[in-house]
Structure 1
Amino acid sequence: MSFREKYSRLGERYERIDGPLERFFDPLRRKAAAFVSGKILEVGVGTGLMLPYYPKDIELHAIDAVPEMLRVAEKKAKELGLNASFYVMDAENLEFPDGSFDTVVSTFVFCTVPNPEKAMKEIHRVLRPGGRAVFLEHTKSDCRLINWLFLKPLDILLGWLIEDNTLRETHRLVGEYFKVEHEESHYGGIVRIIVGRKEG
């Protein structure tokens, strides 16, 4: 079963699974949202857990590969009064022209997207020169003990449940495409905020 099928079956129930972790992630979502400005694309919006943290005056475009989750996010955005448009779309194939956005946001997406390098290329392409890419992602820790004792068992569980790969080195992939201006490591490096600038 593909990640799309697994997430489509979860739908609104996804927040019940993710809910216990959100008390750890909420402050990080708020921090990540502080880096956004202008015309924004959120890649992999899911059920819209980032939406409450965005400034009210932004123009937001949000995509997700799973229609069932996108509908939940769209309803949430209306309740929050956000100027937002939603699209069923893959991160690896963004249907926007080059340089369309001032900021691209990705939160806990690169642990799931099937082809992370292709998705990163697409984010780089649709971002305007000088624009920002903001990532809040699960990443492999710099501590081997944490990886073996915590992340490896979690990787097996989440991989089976929602196709989540907790051992990816997304922070290094960001550095291959963007000039990293800010990076924060949390919980032993298993979660990071990375902010990159598109040069040119």
Structure 2
Amino acid sequence: MSFKEKYARLGERYERIDGPLERFFDPLRRKAAGFVSGKVLEVGVGTGFMLPYYPRDIELHAIDAVPEMLEAARRRARELGLNARFYIMEAENLEFPDESFDTIVSTFVFCTVPDPERAMREVYRVLKAGGRAVFLEHTRSDCRLINWLFLKPLDVFLGFLLEDDTLRETHRLVREYFEVEHEESHYKGIVRLIVARKPKKS
């Protein structure tokens, strides 16, 4: 079963799984939203956990590959009075012209997308030169003991449940494409906030 089928089955019940963790992620989401401006794309909006934190003066566009998740996000946006456009779309195939956005946001997405390298190329493509990419992601820990005793067992469970890969090194992948301006490692590197720029054209 693909990750899209698993998330579709969960629908809004996904919030019961991830919701308890939000007290840990809430301050990081708020901080991530502070780097956002202009015309913004959120890649993998899910049920819309990031929506309450966005500034109201941005032009927000959001995509997700799972229609059931996207519909939950759309309802949340209406409840918040947030003006946003939603699209059923995969991160690996963003149906936007080159250099369409001032800011791109990804929160806990690159642990799930089947082809993170291709998805990162797409983020790079649709971001304007000099634009900002903001990543809040699960990553492999800096501590080997944590990887073996915590992340590997969690990886088996979440892999079965959601096709999540908690041991990906998204922080290293970001560095291959963008100029990192700011990086924070939390919980021994299990979660990282990365703010990066697409280089301006020479």
Q: Distance in 2 between matches of 1:163 and 1:141?
A: 19
Matched, 1:51 2:46: no
Aligned twin of 1:176: 176
Secondary structure of 1:97 counterpart: coil
What's the offset of the Cα at 1:79?
1.2
Instruction: Report the AA paired with residue 36 of structure 2.
Output: V
> 4+ residue stretches of structure 1 with deviation over 3 A?
none
Instruction: Report the AA paired with residue 50 of structure 1.
Output: M
Written as runs of structure 1 = structure 2, the 5 A alignment for 1:11-160 is 11-160=11-160
**Is contact 1:57–1:83 with CA below 8 Å preserved after alignment?**
no
**Aligned length in residues:** 200
Aligned twin of 1:185: 185
What's the offset of the Cα at 1:80?
1.0
Structure 2 unaligned residues grouped into runs of 5+: none
Instruction: Report the AA paired with residue 16 of structure 1.
Output: R
Query: What is the Cα-based RMSD across aligned positions, in Å?
Result: 0.5
Q: Distance in 2 between matches of 1:151 and 1:94?
A: 30
Instruction: Report the AA paired with residue 95 of structure 2.
Output: E
Secondary structure of 2:150 counterpart: helix
Of the structure 1 ranges 75-84 and 165-174, higher mean CA displacement relative to structure 2 is found in 75-84
Instruction: Report the AA paired with residue 114 of structure 1.
Output: P
Q: Distance in 1 between matches of 2:82 and 2:19?
A: 23
Q: Distance in 1 between matches of 2:122 and 2:19?
A: 30
Q: Deviations over 1:53-84 (max 9, x none)?
A: 00011110000000000000001111111120
Q: Distance in 1 between matches of 2:91 and 2:146?
A: 29
Q: Distance in 2 between matches of 1:36 and 1:184?
A: 17
* Identity among equivalent pairs (%): 81
Instruction: Report the AA paired with residue 43 of structure 2.
Output: V
With normalisation by structure 1, the TM-score equals 0.99
